[in-house]
């Protein structure tokens, strides 16, 4: 059994080459929002949900991006409404949020 039932990683990378990166697109704020929301709702931790930040995930052209394991589902998000949908529909209930999914 996995430590987390689902684990979401938010790219918070800052690119020093001047190219677009998730950090320029509010990724850190949305990561903190997701972490705080999951914590407040008591759904974060062993046997539940993991919320982490990461360096570049290699999908910069779609940023800001996040990926959910073990489902291997990529998301492009914009705001708190998007994060709420990912948390409620996918992380908790296992349903992919198609409107935000990228290949």
Enumerate binding residues for ligand FES (CB under 6 A).
Answer: 11, 13, 15, 21-22, 56-60, 63, 65
When the beta carbons of 3 and 55 are compared against ligand FES, the nearer one is 55
Least distance to ligand FES from the beta carbon of 78, Å? Answer: 14
Residue 11's contacts (CB-CB under 8 Å, 6 or more residues apart) are: 22, 27, 53, 54, 55, 56, 57, 59, 63, 64, 65, 66
Least distance to ligand FES from the beta carbon of 11, Å? Answer: 3
When the beta carbons of 45 and 78 are compared against ligand FES, the nearer one is 78
When the beta carbons of 43 and 60 are compared against ligand FES, the nearer one is 60
Least distance to ligand FES from the beta carbon of 27, Å? Answer: 7
Residue 102 and residue 62: Cα distance in Å, rounded?
8
Residue 20 and residue 57: Cα distance in Å, rounded?
13
Secondary structure class of 47 (helix, strand, coil) = coil
């Amino acid at each position: 059994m996995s430590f987390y039932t689902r684990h979401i990683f938010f790219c918070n990378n800052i690119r020093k080459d001047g190219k677009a990166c998730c950090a320029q697109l509010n990724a850190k704020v949305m990561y903190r929002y997701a972490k705080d929301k999951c914590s407040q709702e008591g759904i974060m931790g062993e046997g539940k949900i993991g919320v982490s930040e990461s360096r570049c995930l290699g999908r910069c052209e779609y940023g800001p991006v996040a990926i959910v394991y073990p489902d291997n589902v990529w998301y492009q998000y914009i705001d708190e409404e998007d994060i709420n949908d990912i948390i409620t529909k996918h992380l908790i209930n296992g349903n992919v949020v198609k409107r935000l999914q990228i290949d």
